[in-house]
């Protein structure tokens, strides 16, 4: 992923990132509020060596004291020093526990020792610091006094007594809140990145481009009204952005016909529910609108939807043609007023769809369709559940693969569908991206309507009827397959 991808992830997940950041800030604020304030008092002890008569002795004494300071720092938190402090102040604790609240350190290249004590009561903290310093002085005097001399080798003294602190040393409110904010933001960003990496659903065009370099023939934006009315309405077919999307698909599809002649195109998807039937029917309407002779065939012999979508008779159709029960001309239905769109529904659901679609009768049917139409659209079942679409694709000019881009399906499902097509040597004409969220599609739609739109007749026919006129140069009489 590049910088653009990271910025997109942050933009798309700004709300959970913000919530997690606020949660981190809230946890820090709550922990700070529940923490009892503690105060730290500090006293400073100076380490000196007994006086010498010459400069050399003084220098040696100074070097000696610097070396001894490190030992005194460790001695300051020992039980020998802290036990007298407990007894003097009557503290209810042990030397081990008291050592956890007392710290000692020595600045580099100095003979100073800083003793700090922390307690919930500021006065007690100051008393412990001073008492520890006094106890350290006595202890050092005892261990550093030679047996045959009266004067100790070193002399410790308090140079800066501990004062009563006025503000708590912990909790550090601003620091805690800053850490909570930073940690919360980091967790929020990590959540967004992890969610994106682990999410295998197809949510944008880039997800598809990482799987295949197949061209995108059309982009249909998300439209909630399409769920109730999948077929283009009179107004939609004239000015709506959905109609423009299908017109764009129609134009791109014509450019895929590099060899000329009649195109037989299989419209399918990876899994059910991606909008293949909606795409096939609306594309057929747009092709007929341009004067193209179109035959729409419902080749989904398992879950046919074309008859219901177009509002035509579905009792007879492709299955009854292929099984020899009816002539082709008796199954063709004219749809719309332009008489350029013919429909053959699926007919009765057979027990052996794959065998029917792969039989010689299907090949003869396609030959007849090529002779009578400019383009044949076959609405096929999805690629993942069954082999029907690959059987059809092997006999047709190419395949249009419909893919939803709203998180409905997974990348593995699309990858599997593409592998099925590749395994059978089928030609993938391109993809149609369906239900693309407008905010993430990168496309903008504009209304550009005339001042007064002329009334347009409805596309729907009154029902099923035979083809009223003969196609030029071909006849449908006698096309009965047995």
Q: Is 268 helix (H, G, I), strand (E, B) or coil?
A: strand
List the domain boundaries for the chain. 3-35+172-198, 39-160, 205-441
Give strand pairing partners of 39: 119
What confidence score (pLDDT) does residue 243 get? 84
Provide the percentage of residues in the chain whose pLDDT is more than 90. 58
Which range (16-25, 46-55, 165-174) has the least confidence?
46-55
Assign 142 a pLDDT band (cuts: 50, 70, 90): confident
Assign 9 a pLDDT band (cuts: 50, 70, 90): confident
- Whether the predicted pLDDT of 249 surpasses 80: yes
- Here the tokens at position 52 are 């010498």
- A 10 A CB-CB count for 465 gives 12
- Here the tokens at position 261 are 């002649």
| 266 and 389 Cβ atoms separated by less than 8 Å | yes
Provide the percentage of residues in the chain whose pLDDT is more than 70. 83
Across 54-66, average pLDDT: 55
Across 193-201, average pLDDT: 89
Assign 50 a pLDDT band (cuts: 50, 70, 90): low
Across 12-16, average pLDDT: 91
What's the CATH architecture for 39-160? Answer: 2-Layer Sandwich (3.30)
What confidence score (pLDDT) does residue 333 get? 93
- Non-local CB neighbours of 116 within 8 Å, separated by 6+ positions: 40, 41, 42, 43, 102, 103, 104, 129
- Here the tokens at position 263 are 């195109």
- Here the tokens at position 133 are 């310093």
Cis status of the peptide bond prior to 419, with omega within 30 of 0 = no
- Whether the predicted pLDDT of 64 surpasses 90: no
What confidence score (pLDDT) does residue 251 get? 92
Assign 67 a pLDDT band (cuts: 50, 70, 90): confident
DSSP at 102: E
Q: How many degrees, rounded to 5, is the angle at CA 221 between CA 11 and CA 4?
A: 25
What confidence score (pLDDT) does residue 147 get? 60
DSSP at 437: -
Give strand pairing partners of 379: 267, 298
Q: What is the DSSP string of 153-182?
A: SEEEEEEEPPPPPSS-SBS-HHHHHHHHHH
Give strand pairing partners of 115: 43, 104
What confidence score (pLDDT) does residue 276 get? 94
Across 241-261, average pLDDT: 87
- Whether the predicted pLDDT of 450 surpasses 60: no
Q: How many degrees, rounded to 5, is the angle at CA 55 between CA 50 and CA 61?
A: 35
pLDDT digits (tens, 9 = 90+) for 69-120: 888 999 999 999 999 999 999 999 999 999 999 999 998 878 899 999 999 9
What confidence score (pLDDT) does residue 233 get? 60
Assign 242 a pLDDT band (cuts: 50, 70, 90): confident
Which range (169-173, 198-202, 408-412, 460-464) has the least confidence?
460-464
Mean pLDDT, the chain, whole residue set: 84
- Here the tokens at position 364 are 């003869």
Assign 179 a pLDDT band (cuts: 50, 70, 90): very high
Report the sign of the C-alpha dihedral through residues 379, 215, 5, 245, in that order: negative
Question: Containing H/E element for 185?
Answer: helix 173-198
Q: Is 29 helix (H, G, I), strand (E, B) or coil?
A: helix
What confidence score (pLDDT) does residue 62 get? 58
What are the b/e assignments for 323-343, b being 16+ CB within 10 Å?
A: bebbbbebbbbbbbeeebbbb
Give the position of tokens 């990168």. 442
- Whether the predicted pLDDT of 207 surpasses 50: yes
Residue 443's Cβ-count burial label (10 Å; 0-12, 13-18, 19+) is middle
Do the domains 39-160 and 205-441 sit in the same CATH topology, yes or no? no
Assign 456 a pLDDT band (cuts: 50, 70, 90): very low
Cα gap 167→165, rounded to integer Å? 6
Across 288-315, average pLDDT: 92
- Here the tokens at position 157 are 């003294």
**Comparison of pLDDT for 461 and 122, the residue scoring more:** 122
Cis status of the peptide bond prior to 171, with omega within 30 of 0 = yes
- Residue 475, CA atoms < 13 Å, CB-side half-sphere: 3
HEC profile of 409-430: CEHHHHHHHHHHHHHCCCCEEE
Question: Model pTM?
Answer: 0.67
pLDDT digits (tens, 9 = 90+) for 73-82: 999 999 999 9
| 128 and 43 Cβ atoms separated by less than 8 Å | no
What's the CATH architecture for 205-441? Answer: 3-Layer(aba) Sandwich (3.40)
Helices (H) and strands (E) in the chain, counts: 20, 12
What confidence score (pLDDT) does residue 468 get? 42
What confidence score (pLDDT) does residue 145 get? 73
- Here the tokens at position 106 are 């020595």
**Comparison of pLDDT for 306 and 261, the residue scoring more:** 306
Cα gap 214→352, rounded to integer Å? 32
């Amino acid at each position: 992923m590049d910088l653009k991808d990271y910025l997109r992830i942050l933009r798309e997940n700004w709300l959970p990132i913000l919530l997690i950041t606020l949660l981190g800030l809230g946890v820090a604020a709550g922990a700070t509020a529940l923490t009892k304030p503690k105060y730290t008092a500090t006293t400073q002890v100076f380490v000196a060596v007994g006086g010498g008569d010459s400069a050399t002795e003084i220098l040696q004494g100074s070097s000696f004291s610097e070396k001894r300071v490190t030992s005194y720092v460790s001695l300051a938190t020992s039980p020998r020093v802290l036990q007298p402090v407990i007894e003097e102040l009557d503290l209810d604790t042990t030397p081990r526990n008291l050592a956890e609240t007392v710290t000692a350190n020595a600045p580099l290249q100095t003979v100073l020792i800083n003793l700090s004590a922390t307690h919930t009561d500021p006065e007690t903290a100051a008393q412990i610091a001073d008492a520890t310093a006094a106890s350290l002085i006595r202890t050092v005097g005892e261990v550093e006094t030679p047996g045959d001399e009266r004067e100790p080798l070193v002399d410790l003294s308090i140079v800066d007594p501990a004062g009563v602190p006025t503000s708590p040393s912990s909790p550090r409110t601003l620091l805690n809140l800053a850490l909570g904010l930073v940690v919360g933001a980091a967790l929020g960003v990590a959540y967004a990145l992890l969610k994106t990496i682990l999410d295998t659903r197809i949510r944008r065009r880039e997800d598809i481009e990482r799987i295949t370099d197949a061209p995108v023939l059309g982009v249909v934006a998300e439209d909630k009204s399409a769920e109730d009315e999948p077929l283009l309405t009179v107004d939609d077919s004239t000015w709506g952005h959905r109609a423009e999307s299908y017109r764009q698909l129609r134009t791109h599809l014509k450019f895929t016909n590099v060899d000329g002649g009649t195109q037989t195109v299989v419209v399918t998807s990876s899994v059910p529910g991606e909008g293949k039937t909606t795409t096939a029917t609306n594309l057929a309407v747009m092709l007929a609108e341009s004067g193209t002779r179109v035959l729409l065939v419902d080749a989904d012999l398992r879950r046919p939807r074309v008859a219901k979508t177009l509002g035509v008779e579905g009792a007879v159709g492709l299955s009854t043609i292929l099984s020899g029960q009816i002539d082709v001309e008796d199954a063709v239905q004219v749809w719309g007023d332009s008489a350029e769109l013919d429909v053959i529904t699926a007919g009765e659901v057979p027990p052996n769809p794959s065998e029917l679609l792969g039989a010689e009768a299907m090949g003869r049917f396609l030959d007849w369709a090529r002779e009578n139409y400019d383009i044949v659209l076959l609405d096929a079942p999805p690629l993942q559940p069954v082999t029907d679409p690959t059987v059809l694709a092997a006999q047709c000019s190419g395949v249009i693969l419909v893919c939803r881009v709203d998180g409905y399906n997974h990348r593995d499902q699309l990858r599997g569908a593409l592998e099925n097509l590749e395994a059978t040597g089928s030609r993938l004409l391109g993809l149609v991206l369906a239900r693309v969220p407008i905010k993430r599609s990168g496309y903008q739609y504009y209304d550009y309507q005339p001042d007064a739109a002329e009334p347009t007749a409805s596309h729907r026919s009154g029902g099923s009827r035979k083809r009223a006129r003969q196609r030029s140069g071909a006849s449908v009489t006698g096309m009965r397959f047995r």
